[in-house]
Amino acid sequence: MLERSDLAENALQCLHDEDYDRPFNTQALNADTMIFTGGRQGLALDGTWNFCVDLLDTGLRQKWYAMTPEAPEDRTEPWDYDPYAGETVQVPSCWQMQKEKWYFFEGSAWYTRALEAGPLAPGNRRFLRVGAAQYDCKVFVNGQFLGNHYGGSTPFCVEVTEALRDGTNWIMFCVNNARTLDRVPMRNTDWFNYGGIYREVALYETPATVIRDVFVHLADDGIRIAVTADGPATEAEVEIPGLSLSLVIALTSGKGDVTVPARPQLWSPEDPVLYDLSISAGGDRVTDRVGFRTIERRGTEILLNGKPVFLRGISVHEDDATLGKVTSEADLRRRFAHAKELGCNYLRLAHYPHHELAAQIADELGLMLWEEVPVYWAIDFANPATRRDAENQLRELIHRDRNRASVIIWSVGNENPDTDARLEFMKGLADLAKAEDPTRLTSAACLVNHAKLKIEDRLAQHIDVIGLNEYYGWYEENFEELGIIGRNSAPDRPVVISETGADGDSEQGPARGLFSLAYQEEVYERQIETLRGLDYVKGMSPWILYDFRVERRQNPFQRGWNRKGLIAGDKASKKPAFAILAAYYAERARAEAAEAELVPEAGT
Ligand code: GCB
């Protein structure tokens, strides 16, 4: 049967064209189109959206986005979908968690909703912002394609000033979570491939000038404030009432920065002091709450505000038994409360950018963070498109979170194979992180040379902190080797054990041996015993706080979950290994406190 459509140029075109996706892969929504949203009052577009999965991309081929809303009986064309009727889902959500039939669905899915917009004051602008959509999100407004975004965990914005009209508008997103070789991450990961718009969506209105970016940090001679605005304004006003600061920054081509002499009280886990900040330009106004601190490396030390610090950490995924990747504030607060109970001063947010609230709450609670982009395992390192995608995700993450004192490390990847292409790619990312933000440390989970039994990775000299994932007692059988690696290695910079651990199934696990809680406990005991003697190890974030869902683990003890959590997937049932790590962290914290008492504060 031929397809009949006024919209396709001829009837068969939409069936035969295998390049149908190309016009929609502009990646025009990226780090450069972000706007700064701190303190803005947006119109939330969360709630019920019409929804349809589209395995064969019929919607793009057949131009579903161009359908006008009509009663089915008035339609003159036999369309295969009606965006204005049918099934619905909640936004934000992961479709896997909405209906069982979508649990393993991977491909495109369409979201449609109406938006009533009032008239726009002359000169004003409007922007849609999506907190995150996994992985490719194409944006249509009233049938017009406005661009797409690549990357499942960073926010993106699209200007809709021209596209929105006074009255009823139709917003459509086509979200595709297919796993492909060229994406970041690529096809193979050890976490669940959720799909959908799983963070908040909002509409913002601004005057003709919009503040796109604000970067505030401690500098050698005070506080540096950099502003990027887009529009006619030629200056920005900045206020930090807590420091009695009020100043004007001249903008040239929308950019300006100033360094003011100021001596704020420093942020630290013990005293997470934050200052309110407001920035105005051309009638646009944003706010933020920022902490000031320094983080550096000196030899194998990590220095926070000039003093050596040991990172007592835990790794965490963004995953929930009923919500999938959707994050709520209550969930984040529970996560941080568990981390504090464990004695942590630090968390590794693996393996992709977590919800932006995470760093905001960590700022407030005094927890340090490692944030990461999903350059995971065997990325297509030689592919320039893959590199562009990874670089953009890194820039989006840094622009989103570089005012968060809690964030001390940008990680550019995890356990990647040692090839020349990988070295070039990841060195590029580490350099980019420094260019975007010279005030933080860079890291990556690096490699061990198993023949020589030593930490050896060509990437190490290009990053500040060597992350090391090691699973002695689990994937690596011979525990003695960990001690040998420890003694054979003499890194010139700090090492953080970014992962270690073992599975323990609290529901059906055996009484002893692999997957038993007793075995997991023993692995923690032995790990701690070995690692505590390595003086260049300046922190650890064992794998992981909670059990998490993943497709690739299906044995009778896993049942679709990675069971390395110190707490089960119910986020309540602690396993015995929790107490082992908590005891070690308590001992370290006591020793540090005692040492701090002996070393007088500078100037006392
Ligand atoms: C790793 C990976 C992490 C996995 C973990 C495991 O090395 O970095 O993503 O989930 O091991 O449990 O195997």
Buried b (16+ CB within 10 A) or exposed e, 450-487: eeebbbbbebbebbbbbbbbbbbbbeeeeeebbbebbe
Contact between 422 and 408 (Cβ < 8 Å) = no
Report how far Cα 525 is from the mean position of its chain's Cα atoms.
31
Which pLDDT belongs to residue 446? 93
Test site for ligand 1: of 499, 523, 562, 563, most ligand atoms within 8 A of the Cβ: 499
- CA distances from residue 45 to 94, 148, 258, 348 in whole angstroms, order as listed: 16, 18, 36, 31
Query: How do strand 133-134 and strand 196-197 relate by DSSP bridges?
Result: antiparallel
Q: What is the mean pLDDT of residues 406-420?
A: 96
Alpha-carbon torsion angle 500, 533, 538, 371, nearest 10: 0
- Taking the C-alpha atoms of residue 84 and residue 58, their distance in angstroms, rounded to an integer, is 16
* 304 SS3 class: strand
> Residue 3 pLDDT > 60, yes or no?
no
The rounded distance, in Å, linking the Cα atoms of 216 and 227 is: 9
| Segment 24-71, tens digit of pLDDT | 999 999 999 999 999 999 999 999 999 999 999 999 999 999 999 999
Ligand 1 within 6 A of 414 CB?
yes
Residue 8: pLDDT band with limits 50, 70, 90 = low
Confidence band of 360 (pLDDT split at 50, 70, 90): very high
Residue 470 Cβ < 6 Å to ligand 1: no
Best mutation site among 193, 500, 543 for ligand 1 pocket (most ligand atoms within 8 Å of CB): 543
Amino acid (one-letter) located at 6:
D
Interstrand relation of 125-130 and 201-206 (parallel, antiparallel or unpaired): antiparallel
How far, CA to CA in Å, does 315 sit from each of 368, 372, 397, 426, 501? Answer: 12, 11, 18, 22, 11
Q: What is the whole-number distance in angstroms between the Cα of residue 564 and the centre of ligand 1?
A: 9
The pLDDT value recorded for residue 79 is 84
Distance CA 325, CA 338 (A): 19
Over range 431-460, report the average pLDDT.
Answer: 95
Which ligand 1 atom sits nearest the alpha carbon of residue 548? 10
CB 580 within 8 A of CB 521: yes
* Contact between residue 367 and residue 405 where contact means Cβ atoms under 8 Å apart: no
Nearest CA to ligand 1 atom 3: 190
Distances (CA, A) of 19 to 13, 174, 354, 413: 11, 17, 33, 32
The model's confidence at residue 10, banded by pLDDT at 50, 70 and 90, is low
Q: What is the mean pLDDT of residues 388-413?
A: 98
Distances (CA, A) of 139 to 26, 29, 163, 394, 501: 11, 9, 11, 22, 41
Residue 595: the pLDDT is 84
- Is the CB of 469 within 6 Å of ligand 1? yes
**Helix (H/G/I), strand (E/B), else coil: 22:** helix
Tokens of 320: 């929930």
Mean pLDDT, all residues of the chain: 95
pLDDT at 328 over 50: yes
3-state SS class at 32:
helix
Q: What is the pLDDT of residue 201?
A: 98
Q: Is the CB–ligand 1 distance for residue 564 below 6 Å?
A: yes
Residue 132 has pLDDT above 70, yes or no: yes
Q: How far is Cα 399 from Cα 429, in angstroms, rounded to an integer?
A: 15
Quick one: average pLDDT of 173-186? 97
Q: What is the CA radius of gyration of the chain?
A: 25
Residue 372 main-chain phi, psi, to 5 deg: -145, 150
Look at residues 169, 167, 171 and name the one whose alpha carbon lies nearest to residue 158: 171
Give distance in angstroms: CA of 125 to centre of ligand 1: 44
Regarding the beta carbon of 217 and ligand 1, being less than 6 Å apart is answered no
Could you tell me which of 328, 433, 424 has the C-alpha nearest to residue 371? Answer: 433
Whether residue 249 has a cis bond before it, omega within 30° of 0 = no
Alpha carbon separation from 440 to 2, 4, 306, 435 (Å, rounded): 59, 57, 13, 11
CA of 326 to the centre of ligand 1 (A): 21
Q: Inform me whether the pLDDT recorded for 598 exceeds 80.
A: no
Picking from 397, 362, 214, the residue whose alpha carbon sits closest to that of residue 291 is: 362
Task: Output the residue whose Cα is nearest ligand 1's atom 6.
Answer: 190
Q: Whose CA is nearest to atom 10 of ligand 1?
A: 190
pLDDT tens digit sequence for 281-309: 999 999 999 999 999 999 999 999 999 99
Does 603 score more than 50 pLDDT? no
- CB of 335 within 8 A of CB of 563? no
* Residue 188 Cα to ligand 1 middle (Å): 12
Query: With pLDDT > 90 as the criterion, what percentage of the chain qualifies?
Result: 92
- Beta-ladder partners of 174: 110, 138
Establish whether residue 331 lines the binding site of ligand 1, counting it when its CB lies within 6 angstroms of any ligand atom. no
Contact between 563 and 504 (Cβ < 8 Å):
yes
Looking at the predicted structure, is the pLDDT value of residue 521 above 70? yes
Q: How far apart are alpha carbons 154 and 152 in whole angstroms? A: 6
Give the per-residue pLDDT at 601: 55
How many A from CA of 335 to the centre of ligand 1?
19
Residue whose C-alpha is closest to residue 468's, from 480, 484, 485, 481: 485
Ligand 1 centroid – CA 547 distance (Å): 12
Distance between CA atoms of residues 270 and 290, nearest Å: 16
597 falls in which pLDDT band (50, 70, 90)? Answer: confident
CA–CA separation, 76 vs 450, rounded Å?
Answer: 67
User: Is the Cβ–Cβ distance between 175 and 195 less than 8 Å?
Assistant: yes
Return the pLDDT at 2: 41
pLDDT of residue 599: 65
Q: Distance between CA 269 and CA 369 in Å, rounded?
A: 11
Give the distance (Å) from ligand 1 centre to CA of residue 553.
Answer: 12
Q: Which atom of ligand 1 is nearest to the CA of 562?
A: 12
CB of 190 within 6 A of ligand 1: the answer is yes
**Which ligand 1 atom lies nearest to the CA of residue 351?**
9
Q: From the CA of 350, give the closest atom in ligand 1.
A: 9
The torsion of the CA quartet 470, 471, 473, 479, rounded to 10 degrees, works out to -20
- Residue 162 carries which DSSP code? T
Helix ranges (H only) for 231-383 are: 329-341, 356-365
CB 203 within 8 A of CB 163: no
**Rounded distance between C-alpha atoms, residue 528 and residue 545, angstroms:** 17
Residue 562 Cβ < 6 Å to ligand 1:
yes
Q: Is 363 exposed, middle or buried (0-12, 13-18, 19+ CB in 10 A)?
A: buried
